[in-house]
Structure formats: C-alpha cells, structure tokens
Structure 1
Amino acid sequence: MIQLDNLTKVFDTPKGAVTAADNISMEVPAGEICILLGPSGCGKTTTLKMINRIIRPSSGRVFINGEDTTDLDTQTLRRNIGYVIQQIGLFPNMTIEENISVVPRLLGWDKTKYRERARELMDMIALDPDAFLKRYPSELSGGQQQRIGVARALAADPPVMLMDEPFGAIDPINRAVIQDEFLKMQEALQKTIMFVSHDIDEAIKMGDKVAVFREGKLVQYSTPDDLLAAPRNAFVESFLGEDRTLKRLNLVRVRDVVSDEIGTVSPGDTLETALARIDDFGYQNAIMVVNDKRQPLGLITRALARTTRGYCRDHVQKVPATVSLDDDLRKVASQMFAQDTTWLPCLDDQGRVCGQITQRAMTHYLGSRFRPSSSDARQSDAATEE
C-alpha cells in the first residue's frame, strides 16, 4: 500500500547541506502498522512528512496503492491520507462534531452522512456522542482530545494513516488504554499505517513491522520479534537496550511454547499414584487433578503425596494459577515468579487442561530461535564495522 523509492531530503542550512533522509526505500503492506523508530534527529519524522508532502522530497518517489504521487495535487493527496500528530491540532473554535467532519465536508459529503459518520466514530473511540459532540476541545481532557484527533483522521475512511508520536503527550495509564483501543479498531479497520515513535515498548506493542533509523538512514526493517532477537548491528542492539530479550516476552504466546505432555490424575487415584506421576515429570512439584472432561479440580503437591495416604479426591489443593494459549510469556513469567514455580498448567478455550509451560521451555525458545550461525555472526560484525 505504501512504497518509498529512494526517498531523500536535503536541507540547506547556513552551515551547508544536511541530509535528513538518505535514500529511504521500504514497503508497507496493506493493513499493517509500520513503526518508524530511532533517536531524535534520525530522519523518521522527515520521512513520514514526505509521504503527505508536508515536507517536499529532494528526490525519490512515494507510491500509494501503486500510484506515483509525485504529480498528484497536494490537497487531493492529503485528503486521502489520515494524519494524527502529538499536538493533536484540533480547531479550538469548532465543536467536536465539526472537527471530526472537516475532511468529509471538504470532500462534499452531505450533512446527514458526515454527522452519522461522526457519531459512528465517537462510538468507535469509546466516547459518548451525545455527551461530547457539541463540546469544544477545551472542555476535554488531553486523552479525550487525542482520541478525537484519531477519529478526525479516520473520518473520510482513508486507506492510509500517518501518525507522528500520537500518544506521546499522554500519561502512561491513559496511553496504554488508548493504544489498546486503537489496536482493537485496527483489527476491524485494517488501515495501512506509518507511525513515528521514540518509545521501544510502544513500537513492539503496536507494530507489525519496525523500521529503525540512524542519521537519516534506514538501518533495519523487520518484524518486532526479528528485531529483538536478531538486531542487525551494534547500534540497533544498543538502542533496543540490554533487556531486549525480556521485551520479547510480550510477543510470544503460550501456544508457541506449550507442551502437551502433562501428568494428571483423577479424583479416584491414590496419592501413591500421584507421587509416581509427579516423579515421571521431574521438574514439576505438583500434579493436576482433573475430572473426566479434563477440567482442573485442583492439584496434589509432592510434599503432600510423600507424607499422606489416601485418595486424591480427599486432599485436593487449590490451583494457584493457570494460563491460556493466547496469554503472552510476560504474563506467564509474572505468574511463575508470584507463585514461586517453574511450571504452570495451560487451559484451552473450554477450560480443559491441554498442556503445560515450563521455565525451561521459555528459556530455550527465547535463546535458541534466533541463535546466529557463524556466517550470520560474520555479517553482523561487518555491518557493525560499517
């Protein structure tokens, strides 16, 4: 949907020419979010603004859905691209409804249509249209204004959206809420989005792809998991931080790591049987008690099974924690630390025990999936030297 072909911007300054963006070439597939990431002054915002021609390129081309936009009228180009900025930019003398309807009105929509669109978008961003549409921006909180900015960018249903640190000025709690709501909207809308951020955690959370910039150059363009697992050179590795492996916990789901080999016992089994099955799975300190539908009833600990006689049904203890297939490994790690355990049972969508996840399996997955070969290491060293 978005293709940049050797896009370059050179600014003339009193001290001479400065290259802000240096031959940037990349493609963003339809329906994906691409995060432009990097330190201040690296060229990410300049690159974004060249797409809707707020900054005119010195050379190179921008294609939107296969169409070269070089000779396209600037107003027509911008009306077909949604644009959201950190400063929000709502018109203070217009109501919320009027702000949202700016582009549809310019495109000639009739009054009924753009009013209905405004109400639809208010529902989408979780703000009551009856309570907010007739208010002015000054009557809204910063987080609410930012939501209106997103709604305004979506008003004419553009296929492409550009977002320049849209959530950067919002406090961390509201930022997380708005990010989650935006991702839910994106699941339904499937817009093609380029999104400038300086926040690595935001980039990992929001992006289908991440483009890392340095001094006007595109250094690495890959999925968040590839980026964290295999940074291309020392700069990218340093920029991501020493905890980049921990950041990958957010990206990996239990279903990627879960083992379907899990010992269970039934209520009618003896504690002696339970102990034997615990020993079969040496890294477990307990075993699940399940009914005939494999739903968890509780667990039997190793300590109990060693010191007590009888049947499992009479000694079932509460299961301290379980995980689901769609949980991420960050949640799993948190539960393991909280419960002082190295394994957790996993339940499927019907609440049945379907496997287990272990600390050992998580460590192996994170450590081995992108363990570089010797040739990869040589290429990385060469890139670092460059």
Structure 2
Amino acid sequence: MIRLDNLTKVFDTPKGAVTAADHISMEVPAGEICILLGPSGCGKTTTLKMINRIVRPTSGKVFIDGEDTSALDTQELRRNLGYVIQQIGLFPNMTIEENITAVPRLLGWDKDRYKRRARELMDMIALDADAFLKRYPSELSGGQQQRIGVARALAADPPVMLMDEPFGAIDPINRAVIQDEFLKMQQELKKTIMFVSHDIDEAIKMGNRIAIFREGKLVQYSPPDDLLAAPRNAFVESFLGEDRALKRLNLVKVRELASDEIGVVRPEDTLATALERIEGFGYQNAILMINDKRQPVGIIHRSVARTTSGYCRDHFQSVPTVVSLDDDLRKVASLMFAYDMTWMPCVDDEGRVCGQITQRAITHHLGSRYRATQSSGPGDDTGTPTPSAAEE
C-alpha cells in the first residue's frame, strides 16, 4: 500500500547541506502498522512528512497503492491521507463535530452523510456523541482531544494514515487506554499506517513492522519479534536495550504456549490422591481444585497433602490468580513474580480451566529463538523486504 523508493531529503543550512533522510526504500503492506523508530534527529519524522509533502523530497518517489504520488495535486493527496500529530491540531474555533467533519465537508459530502459519520466515529473512539459533538476543544481533556484527532483523521475513510507521535503527550494510563482502543479499531478497519514513535514499548505493542533509523539511514526493517531476536548490528542492539528478551514477552499470547495437560482434583478427592497427582507432575508444589463446571476453586499444596489426611474440600487455599488465553506473557511473568508461582492455570472465556502455562515453557520459548538466530547469524532473519535498504 505504501512504497518509498530511494526517498531523500537534503536541507540547505548556513553550515552546508544536511541529509535528513538518505535513500529510504521500504514497503508497508496493506492493513499493517509500520512504526518509524530511532533517536532524535534520525530522519523518521522527515520521512513521514515527505509522504504527504509537508516536507518536499529532494529526490525519490512515494507510491500509494501503486500510484506515483508525485503526479498528484498536493491538496488532493493530503485529503486522501489521514494525518494525526502529537500536538493534535484541532481547530479551536470549531465544535468537535466541525473538527471531525472538516475533510468530508471539503470533499463535498452531503450534510446527513457527514453528520452520520461523525456519530459513527464518536462511537468508535468511545465518546458519547450527544455529550461531546457540540463542545469545543478547550472543553475536553488532553486524552479526549487526542481521540478526536484520531477520529478526524479517519473521517473520510482514508486507506492510509500517517501518525506523528500521536499519543506522546498523554499520560501513561490514558496512553495505554487509547493505544488499546486504537488497536481494536485497527482490527476492524485494517488501515495502512505509518507511525512515528520514540517509545520502544509502544512500537512493539502496536507495530506489525518496525523501521529503525539512524542519522538519516534506514538501519533495519523487521517485524517486532525478528527485531528483538536478531538486531542487525550493535547500534540496533543498544537502542533496543539489554532487556530486549523481556520485551518479547509482549508479543506472545498465553494460547501459544499453554499446555492442556494440567493436574486437577475435585473437592471430594482425598489428599492422598492430590499428593499422588502432584508427584506425577514433579515440578509443581501444588495442584488445582476444580468444581463440576471445571472452574478453579482452590489450591492444594504439596506440604498439606503430604502431612494431612482427609478430603481436598477441607484443606484448600484460594487460587492466587489465573490467566486467560489472550493475555500476553509479560502479564504472566509479572503475576508469577508477584505470587511466587512457577505455573499458572489458564481459563477460557467462561472461566473454565483449559490448561496451564509454566515458567519453564516461557524460558524455553525465549531461549529457543535466540539459539536459532545465533546459529543463523545476526540479521539473517529480519524480514526486510529490500535488503539493500537496511544496510547502514
């Protein structure tokens, strides 16, 4: 959907020519989010702004859905690209409805159509249309204004969206909420998005692909898991940080590693039965007790089962915590540390036990990927569509 072909920008300054973006070539498939990431002054924002000609390229071309945009009128190009910036940029003298419908009105939509579209988008960004559409930007919080900025960019249903640190000015709690809501929208809308960020965790959470820039050059362009497992060079490795293995926990869901083999007992089972099943699993210090609906109702510890007689229903403790199949491994690891557990029961949407996830499985998953990349050599598994574009 987006293809950059040797896109270059050279600025003339009193001290001479400065190359802000140096022959950037990359492709973003339809429906994917590409995050542009790198230190300040690396060329990521310049590259983004060349796509809608806020910055005019010195050389190179931009293709949208196969069409060379250099032949398009600038205003026509921009009206077909959604654009969201960190400063939001809402028109202060317009109502929220007028802000959202600015581009549809310029495109000549009839009144009923653009008003209907404004209400649809308010529902999509989880704001009450009746409560907010007639307000002005100054009457909204920063997080609410940011949501309106996203809605305005989506108003004319553009196939491509450009986002320049759109959530950077929002506090961490609201930023996480807006990120989650945006990803839910993206699952339905399947927009093609180029997204500038300075936050590695945000890039890993939101990007299908991540482009690492340095001094105007595209250094590596890979899916997040490939980037973290196989950084192309020392700069990328340093930029990602020493905890890059832990960052990969965000990318893996419980369902990918959960085992359906889990020892359980029922309230009417004896403690001797519980001990036998605990011993059968070897590495566990407790076993899960479930009810007739296969829901977790308690934990029987090895020490209790070994030293006490009687029935499980009389000697259980409450279940410390459970995880769902759609939770990520970062949440699992955090809970394991918090509750001093090496395994954790997994439940489905109805709260029924469907398996377990273990610390051993998580460690093996992370380690196996690193062993694979070390054997193939660094940078061999980057998913870079144009290898020459990723060389420094």
TM range, smaller chain? over 0.9
Other-structure match for 2:203: 203
Distance 1:126 1:101 in 2: 17
Other-structure match for 1:253: 253
Alpha-carbon spacing, 1:234–1:318, altered in 2? closer, same or farther (3 Å): same
Deviation of 1:320 (Å): 1.4
Q: SS at the partner of 1:23?
A: strand
Percent sequence identity over matched residues? 83
Distance 1:144 1:335 in 2: 31
Other-structure match for 1:48: 48
Please tell me whether residue 98 in structure 1 is matched to residue 98 in structure 2. yes
Deviation of 1:81 (Å): 0.3
**Consecutive unaligned residues in structure 2, runs of 5 or more:** 382-387
Describe how 1:1-386 pairs up with structure 2 within 5 A. Answer: 1-291=1-291, 293-371=293-371, 372-377=373-378
The structure 1 segments of at least 4 consecutive aligned residues displaced by more than 6 Å after TM superposition are none
For the Cα contact (< 8 Å) 2:232–2:378, is it kept in 1?
no
Alpha-carbon spacing, 1:347–1:379, altered in 2? closer, same or farther (3 Å): closer
Higher relative contact order (CA 8 A, sep 6+): 2
Deviation of 1:314 (Å): 3.1
Deviation of 1:98 (Å): 1.3
Distance 1:144 1:270 in 2: 56
Distance 1:208 1:157 in 2: 21
Alpha-carbon spacing, 1:62–1:355, altered in 2? closer, same or farther (3 Å): same
Distance 1:248 1:317 in 2: 33
For the Cα contact (< 8 Å) 2:231–2:378, is it kept in 1?
no
Query: CA offsets, 1:112-136, max 9 Å, x none?
Result: 2111211221222122222222222
- The residue type equivalent to 1:376 in the other structure is G
Moved more, 118-127 or 39-48: 118-127
Distance 1:147 1:183 in 2: 13
Deviation of 1:375 (Å): 4.5
Distance 1:47 1:377 in 2: 27
Task: Count how many residue pairs are aligned between Structure 1 and Structure 2.
Answer: 384
Alpha-carbon spacing, 1:370–1:274, altered in 2? closer, same or farther (3 Å): same
**Consecutive unaligned residues in structure 1, runs of 5 or more:** none
Moved more, 352-361 or 263-272: 263-272
Distance 1:319 1:374 in 2: 42
Q: SS at the partner of 1:8?
A: strand
C-alpha root-mean-square deviation of aligned residues, in Å? Answer: 2.0
Moved more, 185-194 or 284-293: 284-293
Alpha-carbon spacing, 1:317–1:3, altered in 2? closer, same or farther (3 Å): same
